[in-house]
Amino acid sequence: MSRHSLTGKRWVWRSGVTIDEGAPMLSSHDAVLQALLSLRGIDPTQETRADDAWGEAIETAATRMRAALDAGERIGIVGDYDCDGITSAAQLVRCCRRHGCEPTVLLPHRVRDGYGLHPSHVAACIDAGVGLLIAADTGVTALAAIEATRAGGMDVIILDHHALPTQLPNATAIVHPALAGLSEPHPSAAGIVYAFVRRVEGDTWIGEAEDRLLAALGTVADVVPLLGGNRALVRSALADIHRIDADAPLALLVQRTLGGNGPLTAQDIAYRIAPRINAAGRMDDPHIALRALLGDAAALDTLEHLNAARQEQTEALLQDCDAAIAGAHDQACVCIADARYPHGLLGLLAGKITERTGKPALVGTIHGGLCTASLRSPPGCDIIAVLRRCHERLLQGGGGGFSSVGGHARAAGCTFHAEHFADVADAVHADVDALLPIDRRSPACCADVAIDPRLANAALARTLSTLEPFGEGNPEPRFLLCKVTLEHARLVGGDGRHLQAGLAGIGAIGFGLGRTLPHLTHAVDVIARLGINQWNGKERAQWIVDDLRSAVSLSVPVATPAPVCPPLQTHPSPAR
C-alpha cells in the first residue's frame, strides 16, 4: 500500500511508479553505473556538440554577420530578460567587439515590454542606423516586428529555440534547431548563439572558453535537458574553465559567487550563479546583468544586492502565500493572485509552491484590470496543455479566454481580465482534478535504483561524478537503501534542524531532517545521494539523506544487470 515518508512525501522510482514493491538491489559499482546510464539514455560514444549539424541557415547567418563586421555596418542585438537571453546577448556583444564593432543592444523590460521583440525596439534600431539586427532567444513568433524591421531597411537574423508558429517571419536567416532537423533535446538560445559565433569566428578564437561558459550558463539556467549536445557543451565548458583569465568578468562572477570553494558545477550555476543573473530582470533591468557579464564591476555589485533583495522578498511573499496553500489542502492545485506580487517573482513563487505541495500552482499579479499569471507543475502534469484546454472552455462559456498564453509542460504563463480570476481558477482546478489522481497530489521523492549500502565508498562516489553535469534530464543519482539502521543519530546545526548519523559504516547528513529523529528507533528505508566529504586533506564517502520512512517489507533480490551502454569516459573530449 502506498504511504508517505516521515516528511510527508510520496516515494517513486525515476519512472514515476510508486516504490511499494521491491526492485533488484545492485551489488557492484559497474552495475550501478550501467543502470544509471540506461535510465538516463546516455551513451557517451554518441554525444556530439549541438553545433555540428545546423545546415544552410547558420551558414547564411554567419556569412551576413561577417559581411557586416567587415564593412563596419551598425549591428543591433535584441535579447531577453532572463539568463538564457542575457548570456546570448553577451556572446554576441563580445563577438562584435572582437571585430571593432560596438553594437546597439536592447533587452526588454519585464513589466514595461514583456517578452519578445517589440515595435519600440525596431524604432530604436532604425534611429541608430542599424543595418543588421540579430534577435537572440526571441523573434521566431514576432511576425509584425520583423516586417517593420525589414521595412526599415534592416536584415534580420533570428537565433531562437521557442515553439515554431504556423507562419515564419520574413527574416534573412532563421537559426532554429527544429528547422535544422536537430535531434532532441534541443539547445537553449545561448547554445544556439555559441554555435553561431563559432561559425563566424572559426574553430578557435580569443575568449572561446569564456563564450562557451556563457553558453553553459544559459543552457543550465533555461532547464533544457543536459543530455546529448547540451551535456557535451556544459561538460566542456566546466572542464575548460581554467582557460579563462582570472581577471575576466566571468571568473570574477564565479569567484564572487563561490568564494573559491571547489570546482564549478552545474548545480552551482543552477542555484547560485543563474539566480544572480536573473535577479536583474526580476527586480530591476536586465542590462545590469549584461554589463556585469561584460566587465562592469559596479554592475556585479548591484547584482549581489538585487539577488539578496530577491531572496528576502520571495521568502516574505511565500509566508504570505501560506494561507492559500493551507486552504488548497483538498484541492487539485493552488491558485492565488494579489496586486502586491511583483511580476518578476511570480514564477519563483509558483515554483516554490509546487515544490512544497506537489501540486500545480498559479500565481498572478493584478494591474490595470489585468491579471498576469505564472504557472508551474510537477512531472506528469502538462500545464501548458491545461491552459489551452481552459482557454477553449472559457471561450465556450462566454466568460472570455486568455489574452495571451505560452510556455511548456512544466512552466507556463497567461494574461486575462482580473474580473475573471474566479472563472479561470475554477477552470484550472477542474482540468487538473481530472488529470491528476488524488494519490499524486503531494510532494514526491524520487529514487533511481536500490543498492546494497555496503557498496558505498569514495571510489563509487568518484564513479558517479563521471555522470556530471547533473541537471534536467540527468539528475544527481538517488539510491534506495532498505531496512538500514542510523547509528548515533543526533541533531546538528545552530538550530538543530539537521540530522547527522552513521549509515553502514560511513557518515550521513540529512539537511532539514532533524525533526525525524524521534522516529529513528527502528530500521528505516532511506533515499539518499552519495558524495565525498573532504576534511583535513582526506576524502571520505558521505551519504546525503533526502528522505526517510519506516522500513517496509520490500523484496529486494540482488541482481547484476548486463551492461547497456559503453563505459563512460571519466574526462570530456577536448572541445574544438
pLDDT digits (tens, 9 = 90+) for 517-539: 999 999 999 999 999 887 777 88
CA distance 348 to 289: 18
Q: Give the contacts of 2 (CB within 8 A, at least 6 positions apart).
A: 10, 18, 20, 439
pLDDT at 405: 84
pLDDT at 46: 67
8 A C-beta contact, residue 393 and residue 416: no
8 A C-beta contact, residue 120 and residue 109: no
pLDDT at 116: 83
pLDDT at 575: 33
pLDDT at 49: 54
CATH 2.40.50.140 residue ranges for the chain = 10-45+444-559
Reference 288, options 546, 110, 513; nearest CA is 110
Output the CA–CA distances (angstroms, integers) from residue 557 to 225, 452, 484, 530, in the order listed. Answer: 32, 10, 16, 22
pLDDT at 410: 82
* pTM attached to this predicted model: 0.88
pLDDT at 147: 94
pLDDT tens, position by position, 327-347: 888 889 999 999 999 999 999
Q: What's the number of CA atoms in the CB half-sphere (13 Å) around residue 395?
A: 9
Q: Which CATH class name applies to 10-45+444-559?
A: mainly beta
CA distance 22 to 248: 52
Which range of 161-165, 326-330, 387-391, 552-556 scores highest in mean pLDDT? It is 387-391
CA distance 150 to 570: 49
Reference 136, options 59, 185, 84, 182; nearest CA is 84
Question: Regarding predicted confidence, which is higher, 167 or 115?
Answer: 167
Q: Is 353 helix (H, G, I), strand (E, B) or coil?
A: helix
- For the chain, the farthest-separated pair of C-alpha atoms sits apart, in whole angstroms, at 76
pLDDT at 563: 35
pLDDT tens, position by position, 120-148: 899 999 999 999 999 999 999 899 999 99
Burial class (CB in 10 A: 0-12, 13-18, 19+), 531: middle
Which range of 280-289, 460-469, 518-527 scores highest in mean pLDDT? It is 280-289
CATH 3.90.1640.30 residue ranges for the chain = 56-241
Q: Is 258 helix (H, G, I), strand (E, B) or coil?
A: helix
Residue 363: pLDDT band (50, 70, 90) is very high
pLDDT tens, position by position, 385-442: 999 999 999 998 877 789 888 777 788 889 999 999 999 999 999 999 998 888 788 8
Q: Say whether pLDDT at 55 is over 90.
A: no
CA distance 319 to 352: 11
- The dihedral built from the CA positions of residue 248, 250, 254 and 257, taken in this order, carries a sign that is positive
Residue 552: pLDDT band (50, 70, 90) is low
pLDDT at 115: 80
Burial class (CB in 10 A: 0-12, 13-18, 19+), 114: middle
Residue 48: pLDDT band (50, 70, 90) is low
Q: Say whether pLDDT at 554 is over 80.
A: no
pLDDT at 111: 85
Q: Provide, rounded to the nearest whole percent, the portion of the chain with pLDDT above 70.
A: 93
Q: Give the contacts of 388 (CB within 8 A, at least 6 positions apart).
A: 405
DSSP single-letter state for residue 272: I
pLDDT at 507: 95
CA distance 325 to 480: 30
Indicate the range of 88-102, 333-347, 548-562 predicted with least confidence.
Answer: 548-562
- DSSP lists the bridge partners of residue 77 as 105, 134
Mean pLDDT score, 102-117: 90
Residue 571: pLDDT band (50, 70, 90) is very low
Of the CATH numbers 3.40.50.150, 2.40.110.10, 3.90.650.10, 3.10.310.30, which one belongs to the domain with range 333-436?
Answer: 3.10.310.30
pLDDT at 2: 47
Q: Give the contacts of 569 (CB within 8 A, at least 6 positions apart).
A: 44, 466
Of the CATH numbers 3.40.50.300, 3.10.28.10, 3.90.1640.30, 3.90.180.10, which one belongs to the domain with range 56-241?
Answer: 3.90.1640.30
pLDDT at 23: 64
Residue whose entry in the numeric block shows the C-alpha cell 571593432: 100
Burial class (CB in 10 A: 0-12, 13-18, 19+), 222: buried
Where do the DSSP E strands lie in 160-281? 173-175
Residue 560: pLDDT band (50, 70, 90) is very low
